[in-house]
Every structure is written in structure tokens, then in C-alpha cells.
Chain A
Amino acid sequence: MRTRRSFFLLLCLLSASGFGLGRFTPAGEIQRIDLSSYQAYSLKDLMPAIEAAVGQIERAEKIPVVLSVGPTPPSSDQPVPAIPVEAPPIVVVPETTVPEQVEVTPTLPTPPAVVVEEPTLPAETTVRPAPRPEREAAAPPLESVPRPMPRPDRITEQAPAPEGTCDNCAEHVRMSSLRYMECGSRNNYLETELAGIKSGNTILGTLMRRGPRENAAIKASCVKAGLETVFGANSSTFVNCAPGKNTPATGKRRACVSENYFTLTHNTIDLVSRCMAPYLSPNKADQRTDLRLLLGLMAQESGLHFNAGNGSGASGMGQLTQDAIDAVNRLEMTNIRTHLAQQGGDCAKLATDLMQGRPPMRGGLTYRCDRMSLSRGNPALNLIYTMGNLKLSKRQLERSIFDDNRYKDVFAGLSTSERNRLETAIVVWSHNTGVGGMQTPLTALLNSSYRGKKRITDVNAFLAELKQAHRDYPHSVYRGKAHAIREKSGYYSAVSQRLSDIEKHAGGGSCVAL
């Protein structure tokens, strides 16, 4: 209680000095946000609530906020500093007008939709409020989302405030409080090129001009969390490909997650996911599973940064290798082009804008920039190839194991969706091991532990057994190499953990809203 009282005094001081917590407009309207319901014991605990309040102020400029702690006093007793004499009477906004916006954020399992940057680059990482998202004209309106009070110049963009409950309120709140980094001299190396792409005529420019999307198949808060949490701001495992160059400059710091950078990354992941989902699986439920695991894979590989690179040459969002690129060019390219063309709209534009080269992405290390250069159509091109490679792996595992009559009964105990989850998990795993590196332990597990009429009944238990099989029966290339075996056997667990961390960081729930 004493802590709360001290903090209230601090808030009053901050508010009075105009430092961050609120603005008192001449209109003098007041809205009360009661902080007494928050289980706050320190400033850190209260940050989510404060962020929510600030976000609300940003959205609804005319509603200043008084933060109070403890039981709500009657409105007439409310101390209101410095209200002009002519000001209208104090209005206490009833709780029902904006309840979710105020209350949802603090109840989330983890605090920030807003990730405060590491303090290692203080001069370069000051956080500024995000401009409100410009919603795509063609995008369907959010259903039943409590809307912030619109700014006058944006009224026409807002759909009428719907009634009832919403499925995606938490994401709406998180979107409203997105913050971007301001770039400094060491991490702004992509900004000029990004600005050029934004003003260009390609599909990537179109995606950037649309601004952050709220109704995305892949939640923006998850992409933000991935971009900011997997690699630190000072990490230097990044590269930069100047336009038209084939060889990247290495040792770059993580690029600043500016609005342009974030918008391009998120909208590209969203569009490619939507376009390629039917290519991966025919039905929606399976597509959700596929896209979720795919996001985990990309987060694990690159932290969703399209210019991530490593010493071995694997590069881009999906850390594509020459082997994977060559295989997609040989075996999947026709299927991908046909699929995207059939999808029409922006998906067809992906094909016409980015997939025209012969091949669109070249495999050799000499052409490493093909995998990540913005001027070559990345990150979209890298994502399409990553998905193409997964599809190829799935086909190979289906023909050699999943669809073989001899193992049909082993999988017969699983529902269709569970079977798809298992297959996708194994395919994602093989992104790291290679198909050959997956086939050996998988076949060995089936031949040793699933003999006779034994069936798989629990996907997670089977995946745990497969992890052990990677240790007991590794592919001959990995035999005796303890580090490789550890890495290969633990890859799927690492992806799952990464995904779980991102979802927790982004406020809980699945990252896929397809």
C-alpha cells in the first residue's frame, strides 16, 4: 500500500510536469482509469497499465487521463489540476465506454506488446509513439472491436463501432500501442532502400504503403516480438546487400525496427502466408497449424530478420542454403508459379513481380544476395522459397514414409488434424536436419518401437520419442559428432520454445489468425 501511495505521488508529479503520462487539454475532459485493480508492486509491474493508458491518450487526443490508485473517489471530489475557468464541467467517462482497452492489457500474461529496446544504444533507440495504423481500404472491418476515439482527419477511415464482444480485442489494443525504433548511424543501413521500395511500383511497395495491418493472418504483435526479442540490438550476425550486388557486407548490426522495416516484414509475412497456405495444406485448420509452425521456424532461424546471415552461407528469413534453393528451382518452381497465379490478386502479383527470373533465386554462394536483398524481392522471395522447400520435404517424407502402406496403420490412430500436425512438425524439423537426416531416425523409430499393431496416439509423445531417436539412430553423416546430434535432435524443441516465447511475449494465444 505504501508502495502504491509513493507511486501515486510520483505519477502526480510526472503528470504535472507533462512528462509522459497525460496531457490536459483546454477542453478539460477527464477520464478516470482506476489502477487499484492492478496487482502492482513496483513501477515495472505497472508499466503495462501505463503503456495502455498512454496508448489510449495517443489514440483519443481529446481525452486526458487522470491515473488514480485506490478506491475511486466520487467524481465531484476528483482533484483536477489547472482546469481553465471556462472549461466545461468534469466528465467522468463511464467504464462501459472503454472498458476493454483499459482492462485487457494488464490482464495479459506477460506485459509488453511494447518491447523496450535494450539500453545499449541509448542515443539511437529512443522509442516514439507509433502513428495510428492506416487500415487497408479493402480490408474487412474488425468485428466488434472497441474503437478508440478517432482523430478528425481519420474519421472516414474508421468503420462504425460495432457492438458486442470481439475475438481479437487484445491484438487490437496491442496494435494500437505499437512503437518503432528511431534509427541511428549504425543500424539505419536499410532505411534509404526501404524508402525507395515504398515509393516504387512493386508489390512490396504496395504492401509498405498499406501500413500495419490489424486483420492479419499472422499477428503483428508476434512479428514485432520476434523481431525484437530473438536477437539483441547489438547482435552483428547480419549482412547488407547493396542494390545490384551479389556479395553482402557482413558483420552488420541488427537493423533498426523502424516503421518501414516492420511494415514491410509484417505485411510480407502476412501476404505470403495467406497466398501459400493452400499450397501447403488444403483445409483451413491444417493451414493454421502449418503457418504457426512455419513462423516458429523462421523466428528460430533468423528472428524474422530478412538480412540475417551466418558464416556457412545460409541466409535470409528462412536461412536458405544452396541445396534448398536448387531443389526448389528443380522440383517445385512450376508448382509454385502455377499456384500463385491461380490465387489471383496480390498473390498473382507476387508471381509476376518476383518470380520471373530463370530462376528467380540462384543457389550458388556467389549469389548469396539473392536470398535477402530487397532489390531481388525479399523478404517475399525468401519466404516463398522457404515454403516451397517445406512442401518439397513434405512430399519426400510422404512418399517414403507417411503414405507407405507398410506404415499406414501406425498413423491410423490420429485424427486428420493431429496427423497433419505431426507431419508438419517433422517437416519443419527436417528444415534443419535435411530430409535424409530426418528419414533415418524416423524410420528407425517406426521399425523399433512401432512394430506390429502399435499406433501413434499422442503427437507430443511421439515427437519426444523422435528426439531420442535422433540421438540413438543418427544419420551416418552425424554419427560420432556430439554437437551436431545435440543440435539436430533439439531443433524442434527449440522451434516450439521460440514460438511459445513469442506468443507469450505478444500477449498469449496463437500467432495465426487465419
Chain B
Amino acid sequence: MRRFVIILSLLMAGTPAFAFKDAKVTEKLSSFKREIPTFKTSSEKLDALEKFRDFLADHLSQMPKPKTKAQKALFADLNEFQAAVFSIRMDKIDQQNCRENRETLASLRIPDPTQEDGKMPATPALQEALSILLLLCR
């Protein structure tokens, strides 16, 4: 199981980040994901996560206020991603924290009673947040 997670993480780390149609976010996300495996300690990883969160919050609050339908859709996507990344909370990286955070992120899927497990599939924004968590917990 552990080996599978490691392989999956490596594959994920090599995958380009989901394109948010926002060059800055896409680029920053890619570099952050490439960076995570290079950190040696938990605190280094968590510091990097915090910096990435700072970037997201600053970037979104400085974007021009969306006016068109397309701008609003992009802004909503970015905020969905921010909310998911902000839902990852760990004071240290251990098995229990990783499991709890995985469950928390999974619970952000939109309820849909017609689906087998009562939830819609994870959206691209949520999948990106899950891939960050996976890298942190590797």
C-alpha cells in the first residue's frame, strides 16, 4: 500500500497542474508541487503550503472584480480551489492527520443522493487539492 502511494505521488508530482486559465496560479501550483518532494522535514512542507496559501489569497483579492460570465466562472473556479487548499489543516504531518484531511477534502464533494456513495465526483479544483495533500503526506 505504502509503495503504491509513493508511486502515485511521484506520478502526480510529474503531472502538470490543472490549467485554471490563470497563468500565475497554474505556474505557481506547478512549481509548488515540484518543490514538495524536495523538502526534508514536515515543517518545511507545511511552511511551503502556508506560503502557497498566502499567494492564493493575495492573488485572488487583487484580481480585477469579475464582470463577464467567463470572468466570473474563472473566479469561482479559483475560489473553489482556494477553499479546498485552505481546508487542509495540519500541525504536523502524520498518518492520522493525513487520513483526517483526506476525509475532510472528500467531504467537500457536492452531495448527490443519486450517486452510489451519495456524492458527486471530485471536481478538478478538488482533485488538485487532494494531489497536494498526497504529496505532503508522502
Asked if A314 is at the interface (CB within 8 A of a chain B CB), the reply is: yes
Residues of chain B with a CB closer than 8 A to A312's CB: 113-114
Asked if B79 is at the interface (CB within 8 A of a chain A CB), the reply is: yes
Whether the Cβ atoms of A443 and B83 lie closer than 8 Å is yes
Closest B residue to A365 by CB, please name it.
Answer: B113
Known: A322-B117, A477-B110. A400 touches B75 (CB 8 A): no
Q: In the assembly, what is the distance between CA of A330 and CA of B104, in Å?
A: 10
Whether the Cβ atoms of B110 and A444 lie closer than 8 Å is no
Q: Which of A324, A440, A441, A442 is packed against the most chain B CB atoms within 10 Å? A: A440
Asked if B28 is at the interface (CB within 8 A of a chain A CB), the reply is: no
Map CB proximity to B onto A400-418 as digits: 1 under 8 Å, 0 otherwise.
1100101000000000000
Residues of chain A with a CB closer than 8 A to B80's CB: 436, 439-440, 443, 475-476
Chain A nearest Cβ from B2, distance in angstroms: 22
A396, A441, A472, A477: which contacts B107 (Cβ < 8 A)? A396
Residues of chain B with a CB closer than 8 A to A479's CB: 73, 76
Chain B nearest Cβ from A441, distance in angstroms: 8
Contacts of B105-126 to chain A: CB distance below 8 A: 107-114, 117-120, 123-126
The count of residues in chain A whose C-beta lies closer than 8 Å to any C-beta of chain B is 42
Asked if A490 is at the interface (CB within 8 A of a chain B CB), the reply is: no
Contacts of B55-103 to chain A: CB distance below 8 A: 57, 60-63, 65-66, 72-73, 75-77, 79-80, 82-84, 86-87, 89, 100, 103
Asked if A148 is at the interface (CB within 8 A of a chain B CB), the reply is: no
Residues of chain A with a CB closer than 8 A to B111's CB: 321, 323-324, 434
Asked if A7 is at the interface (CB within 8 A of a chain B CB), the reply is: no
Asked if A10 is at the interface (CB within 8 A of a chain B CB), the reply is: no
Q: In the assembly, what is the distance between CA of A31 and CA of B54, in Å?
A: 75
Asked if A331 is at the interface (CB within 8 A of a chain B CB), the reply is: yes
Residues of chain B with a CB closer than 8 A to A435's CB: 107-108
Known: A396-B104, A400-B83, A436-B108. A444 touches B76 (CB 8 A): yes
Q: In the assembly, what is the distance between CA of A437 and CA of B107, in Å?
A: 11
Asked if A64 is at the interface (CB within 8 A of a chain B CB), the reply is: no
Asked if A112 is at the interface (CB within 8 A of a chain B CB), the reply is: no
Residues of chain B with a CB closer than 8 A to A327's CB: 103, 107
Q: In the assembly, what is the distance between CA of A452 and CA of B63, in Å?
A: 13
Whether the Cβ atoms of A448 and B66 lie closer than 8 Å is yes
The count of residues in chain B whose C-beta lies closer than 8 Å to any C-beta of chain A is 41
Q: In the assembly, what is the distance between CA of A312 and CA of B107, in Å?
A: 19
Asked if A447 is at the interface (CB within 8 A of a chain B CB), the reply is: yes
Chain A nearest Cβ from B113, distance in angstroms: 4
Known: A322-B117, A323-B118. A447 touches B79 (CB 8 A): yes
Whether the Cβ atoms of B120 and A477 lie closer than 8 Å is yes
Asked if A377 is at the interface (CB within 8 A of a chain B CB), the reply is: no
Closest B residue to A398 by CB, please name it.
Answer: B89
Whether the Cβ atoms of A448 and B83 lie closer than 8 Å is no
Q: In the assembly, what is the distance between CA of A434 and CA of B87, in Å?
A: 14
A322, A440, A474, A476: which contacts B113 (Cβ < 8 A)? A322
A322, A404, A441, A476: which contacts B118 (Cβ < 8 A)? A322
Whether the Cβ atoms of B57 and A401 lie closer than 8 Å is no
Whether the Cβ atoms of B123 and A396 lie closer than 8 Å is no
Q: In the assembly, what is the distance between CA of A323 and CA of B121, in Å?
A: 13
Q: In the assembly, what is the distance between CA of A324 and CA of B118, in Å?
A: 9
Whether the Cβ atoms of B83 and A401 lie closer than 8 Å is yes
Closest A residue to B60 by CB, please name it.
Answer: A447
Residue pairs across A and B with Cβ atoms less than 8 A apart, 27 shown, are: A323-B109, A323-B113, A323-B118, A323-B119, A331-B100, A363-B118, A365-B113, A396-B87, A399-B87, A406-B57, A434-B111, A436-B108, A439-B79, A439-B80, A441-B79, A443-B80, A447-B60, A448-B65, A448-B75, A451-B61, A452-B61, A472-B66, A473-B75, A474-B76, A475-B123, A477-B123, A478-B110
Q: What is the interface of chain A, defined by CB distance below 8 A to chain B? A: 312-314, 321-324, 326-327, 330-331, 363, 365, 392, 396, 399-401, 404, 406, 434-437, 439-444, 447-448, 451-452, 472-479
Beyond the given pairs A327-B107, A434-B111, A440-B79, 20 more chain A to chain B contacts, judged by CB atoms under 8 angstroms and listed by A's residue number, are A313-B113, A326-B118, A331-B107, A363-B118, A392-B107, A396-B107, A399-B86, A399-B87, A400-B83, A435-B107, A436-B107, A436-B108, A439-B79, A439-B80, A443-B86, A447-B61, A473-B75, A475-B110, A475-B123, A477-B120
Q: What is the interface of chain B, defined by CB distance below 8 A to chain A? A: 53-54, 57, 60-63, 65-66, 72-73, 75-77, 79-80, 82-84, 86-87, 89, 100, 103-104, 107-114, 117-120, 123-126
The 10 A-B residue pairs whose C-beta atoms are closest, nearest first, are A322-B118, A439-B83, A436-B108, A323-B118, A473-B76, A312-B113, A444-B79, A443-B79, A447-B60, A313-B113
